[in-house]
Structure 1
Amino acid sequence: MSAQTAAQLEMAELLVEALNLEDIAADEIAPDESLFGDGLGLDSIDALEIALAISQKYGVQMQADDENTRKAFTSLATLTDFVQANKSK
């Protein structure tokens, strides 16, 4: 398991808070672990909640029909990179 960057830890904290994840600490989410399926086991409703939290905190709009959004939800690292690249300055 690779260590999180500061930005990844901040994103992991947002995930834990937005989804009320009680069984996992933000620093336990591996940057390259899948967010869905066998990874964290998130589902499409979780994705909507995450997108809303990201929009509120960072001003980044995530469109469900956008291929880049789908790719962003691959892992904590890809989600963090997407938000960092698209957030309001």
Structure 2
Amino acid sequence: MNSLCDELKELVVDTLALEDVTWAEIETEAPLFGDGLDLDSIDALEIAMAIEEKYGVTLGDDPDQNQKIFVSIKTLADFVLGSS
């Protein structure tokens, strides 16, 4: 699980070309939106596409469920593990 979380942190940094944060600085349970990395819906779409490409898992059409998946790196990892 920890290695998957680290992979997802790297994926977020690389996909969004974040220059002011490294993957090692991202806390696994820190919020991705708001006070955390301050991502927006476009960022979420880019991450979702990168996750689909790398892990072969696709998010559904339920916005409430997707919002729960994108709470943190940990919830993203739980989704990837549960979908593979």
Fold shared by both chains (TM-score > 0.5): yes
For residues 16-45 of structure 1, give each alpha carbon's deviation from its aligned partner in whole angstroms, at most 9, with x where no partner exists: 111101111111100110000111000000
Provide the alpha-carbon RMSD of the alignment: 1.5
Runs of 5+ consecutive residues of structure 2 not aligned to the other structure:
none
Q: Which structure has the higher relative contact order (CA within 8 Å, separation 6+)?
A: 2
**Aligned equivalents of 2:81 and 2:63: distance in 1?**
17
Residue number in structure 1 paired with 2:17: 20
**Aligned equivalents of 2:82 and 2:24: distance in 1?**
22
Query: Which residue type is aligned with residue 16 of structure 1?
Result: V
Asked if the contact 1:64/1:70 (under 8 Å) is kept, the reply is no
| 1:59 and 2:67 aligned | no
Residue number in structure 2 paired with 1:47: 44
Residue number in structure 2 paired with 1:35: 32
SS of 1:35's equivalent in the other structure is coil
Q: Percent identity?
A: 49
TM-score by length of 1: 0.86
Runs of 5+ consecutive residues of structure 1 not aligned to the other structure:
none
For residues 67-87 of structure 1, give each alpha carbon's deviation from its aligned partner in whole angstroms, at most 9, with x where no partner exists: 332211001111111111112
Equivalent of 2:71 in 68, 74, 78: 74
Offset of residue 49 of structure 1: 0.2
**Aligned equivalents of 1:29 and 1:64: distance in 2?**
27
Q: In proportion to residue count, which structure has more helix?
A: 2
**Aligned equivalents of 2:80 and 2:10: distance in 1?**
14
